[in-house]
Amino acid sequence: MRSTQIILTAFLLLVSVPAVSFENGQCLELEGATVEGPQLAQEEHSGWTLVEFWATWCRPCLSSIKSLQSLLTEYESVRLVGVNSEDNLEHVRRFVAEAGWRFSSLWDPEQVWLEDAAPPALPYLLLLDPTGCIVWQGIGGTSNIRELRMVLDRQKLRTNTRL
C-alpha cells in the first residue's frame, strides 16, 4: 500500500510540473521593449547573459535577484536581464525604481517569452553564451547560486577574485 502511494505521488508530481520548453543549446534573440523604456537589442551585448523570469509578487524572485546582483560583482562580463510578464507597466516601473535594480528587464505583457520558456516556477534562470545559446537553466533563488557559480567558473568568467 505504501509503495503504491509513493508511486502515485511521484507520478502526480511529474505530470503536474510543466516541462520547460527551452532546451540547452537552443539559441534565443534577447530583444524587445524593456520595463525601463528603451529597446533591448541583442547586438548591444556580445558577452554572456543571465536571464531571470521574475514578477513583483514573487518573493523568491526578489531574494534571487539580490543574490544574483551580488554574485555578478564577481563576474562583471556577465549581464543580468530580467523578463517580467505583468500587464501593469507603471506598477513594475515603480517597483524596479524603489528596489534600485541596476539591470534591464524585458517587458512581456503578452507573455510570449513566458509561454515559450514555460518555466516550472518563478524565478527561473537561463544562462546564454555570447552567441545567445542556452548553456544552463534552473530554478532561481539562493539554492542554485552554487551550481550557477560552478558553471560560470567552468567558463572562466570570474573577473573579481578578491571578493
- What's this model's pTM, rounded to 2 decimal places? 0.81
Cβ contact 142:123 at 8 Å: no
Query: Is 34 among the domain residues?
Result: yes
What's the total number of domains in the chain?
1
- Any domain includes 95: yes
Residue 97 falls inside a structural domain: yes
Phi, psi of 129, rounded to the nearest 5 degrees: -80, 180
Residue 92 covered by a domain: yes
What are the pLDDT digits (tens) for 26-79?
A: 888 888 999 998 898 877 767 899 999 999 999 999 999 999 999 999 998 999
CATH number at residue 48: 3.40.30.10
Instruction: Tell me whether residue 37 is in a domain.
Output: yes
80: which DSSP letter?
E
The CB-based long-range contact list for 7-10 (8 Å cut-off, 24+ gap) reads none
Task: Judge contact between 42 and 29, C-beta under 8 A.
Answer: yes
17 assigned to some structural domain: no
pLDDT category of residue 21 using cuts at 50, 70 and 90: low
In this structure, is residue 15 part of a structural domain?
Answer: no
